[in-house]
Each structure stands twice: as C-alpha cells, then as structure tokens.
Structure 1
Amino acid sequence: MSTAPRPTAPAPASLPPAAPSLTERRKAETQLEIARAAAALFAERGSAVTADDIARAAGVAPRTFYRYFRTKEDAVAPLLAVGVRQWLAHLRRLAAAADGPSVREALERAARQALTPSDERAAEALRWTRGLLRVMRDDPALRSVWHRVHHDSEEALIPVLTGLTGGGPPEVRLAAAAANTAMRVAVETWAADDAPEERTAGGAAGQADEQTDAQADDPAELVVRAMRALTAGLPGLDRRRT
C-alpha cells in the first residue's frame, strides 16, 4: 500500500553572526581600559613603566593584568588596533553600498574617516598613539607590537579586498600590503613630526610652508597622499561596485 510522501522540513535560514556575549564585551572593555592606561604611562615615562604601574593606573590587580597580557608592551595592542578596526569597518560599509565609489576611493575615504576623530575620546586615543610612536623609536619591544598590529591589519584587509576587486591572490595581497603600508607610514610620519608650536616658521619661507605644515599635522591628509602614491600602479583598485 503506497503512502503519500512525507513533507520535508524547509532548510533552516542562515543565521547572522552572533553578537559578542556580555562576558566578551566586558573583557574587551577591560583590555581597552588597561591599554589606555598603558599608553598614557608609556607616553609620559617611556620604557621605565612597569606592568604593576599599568595595573595600578587601570585600577586592576596585577593578576588581572597578566590574565590579559603577557608583557607590559602587549598591553598597548588593543589601543593601537582601534584605528585599524575602524578603518576596516568604514571600508566594509562603503563596500556594501550599491553603486558606491571605486575600491581606491573607498580605501581613501575609509582611511580618512579612521584618522579623523569623531569625539574627544577618539581624539585622546589618537594623541596617545602619537606619544606611543615617539617612545617606540627607542623601544624595540613596543615597535614589535606596532608591527604585529599592522601585520594583522594586512591579513584582515585581504578578504575585504578580495570581494571588492575580484583579483587573484597575488594582486589582492599586493593591494592589501600597499594600503596597509600607506596607513602605517602616514601615522608614523605624523607622529614623528614636531608639534606646530615647536616649529619655527619665520619670514617668507615660513609663510610658504604654512599649508604644508598644516597637512603634516593632519594624519588624515597624510594617509590619503600616501595611499595615492603607493596604490597608483594597481589598476584593479579602479573597479566600482555595481
């Protein structure tokens, strides 16, 4: 005796990525608070800062500090990575827009947004980053953290650029390396430059250089110039999303 076929259950819809749990958000916020304290201390005292100093300034026990970070230098990584995460977030938003800008324009706009503070807390983080980069000149361990953050940034750029450019692995890796290097060099150049009040700009030469000095003190302007210089030979970045 034949039976009617049993209805099949519909395929489950793909679920969106789960939001971070409350525990994960609290952990990330604690790490960032410790990173802010570490950055402020390093900028003020240099490499003489200890892990205990950082823990005390952040209001946590040394045991808590070492739960999150292996060394005192590692403690600044979350703060240094904030700008990178913002850059990638801006880039993904631009990439998601239909009839959006070319990949090259999206990279420039996203980098400019990431280096233009939206509020006082973001401006303070950028100032701390500047102080850290100045200290790094004489601190190989801190420089190692900075380069590790940018290595991770370059790796995170690859899947984003793969979707935008449609290029092969060599082209995409080259584009990610060029864009990431532009960001790093721009911030390092800005950090190394003297503050405006420390410059001496007298006479006709000083007046002629006034605009250049203003641009040198704006990391957002520097990153656009660096991005254009380093990506000029990559025609795949002229593709537009339609």
Structure 2
Amino acid sequence: MSFLKVQPSEMSILFLDAHPFTPLDKAWDVIYSTPIRVGHLSQPVHYENFIWGVEERLMPFSEHVDPPIPYLEEFRTFVLDRFDLPTKDVLNCKKLRITFIVRRNAVYHPRNAEGNVGRKVFNEAEVVETLMKAFPGSHVQAALMEALPMKSQLEISSQTDLWIGMHGAGMTHIAFLPKHAAVLELFQKDFKVNRPWFVCFHSITMWRGMHYDSWENTDGNLEMPHDYTIVPTDVIAQKTQKLVEQMCPK
C-alpha cells in the first residue's frame, strides 16, 4: 500500500484456498476491508489491480538480504494503529517481560483433519519455571497465541522484551515486538535439513536490528513421540541470559 499509494479502504484480501472461516479472519476486517473467498463468488470478477502473494520459499524473507527489505517498521506501526494499540515502548531492565509461546494440537485447516501440530515443547512447565528463577521480578508468561483474538495477541507481542518459542507461525509476531526486544528461536532435530529458507524469522530480527539467538536439537534422545521435543532448561537459561545482557548492557 505504501509503495503503490493505496489506502486501506481500497485494499481487499482475496483467499484462493478452501480454508474454513477462523477467528483470524476478523483481523483482516480490521486491517483492510472484508476478505473475499473465491469459493463464495457467484460470478467472474475482473480486478484491475492485483498483488500476488509469493510462494514461501521464494519470498525475500527466506534470505538474509542486504540491504533490508523496506517498510518493516511502517508495517508494525500501521497494524498496531489499526487495532488502536500503542506503537512506542520503553525497555525496563529491572522488570523484563518474557513471553514463551507454546503450541497445541488443533484442527486449523482441512489438510490436517487429525489436528496434529508439530514442533511442540515437551517440558513447557520446566522452561517457564527456569525463566522465572533466572529472572526474578520479571513478568514471565506462556502464551497459546492462536487461542487469543488478534488484538490480544498483538498486545502481548508489542509489549514483550524477550520472545521465546519453537519455529512456527507464532514467531511471526517478532514483526510487532518493540525494536529493543530479543528473540530465542527453537528447532527440533533435523527440522532445517533441506529447508534453507527457514531463516525467515532470523532475517526479520536482523533487518529490524534486534537481538537474536537460536537452539537446534542435535540429540535424538530429546525427541519424543507425537512431535514433542525436550528443551534443556540449562540451554534456555544460558541463552536467555546472554540475550538479556545484550539488551541491558551493564
């Protein structure tokens, strides 16, 4: 919209797939105008101007492009403004806000009728307890983002200093973190094999000038049935402490 000088009221989202309605559809109503689904069209429609979405592995987010792609900060401000949320935030190193995002099995689209979701953390409670002990006085929370309305999701991410979670859709919220924030991204064993484009979230942090670290499991004994991974709590403690020191240098 910025590049083409198009107003939000002139922009509509066209869904080409057969996904059912979800609560996230309401977010499009707030950001743009009412979404349109191809399956609901009763007659042909001619669009004079059409912006086509690019396949994930071909997106610029899939490479560490230099210089950075434009409009990231403008995009953050635009979306938060549409939801009437503040865009400015101040880092308080004496009371950090730490969010650990979790994943749950659920049916999100017809291609996954069983509702099996991968890349889940087996020892979530231990991870949260470790963070609370490592940073006493800080606000530590575990969040199942998809269970919340979009405005609540954005309230959490736009007011988080340290964002931790398994690689997945919830990590998209790093686009809305304060610019001073830090990100710790977790990967299950062999997940990145033959997936070089999964640097997308690291790329966003790099372009936004944020602090970033990651952990990738290399121990098969830490992989559990049903796509669960045990995340060593000592690794969480060490890596989060390092990120906090980068955010809050003495």
* TM-score after normalising by structure 1: 0.31
Bigger share in strand: 2
Q: Relative contact order (alpha carbons < 8 A, sep ≥ 6): 1 or 2 greater?
A: 1
Q: Which has the higher helix share?
A: 1
Larger radius of gyration: 1
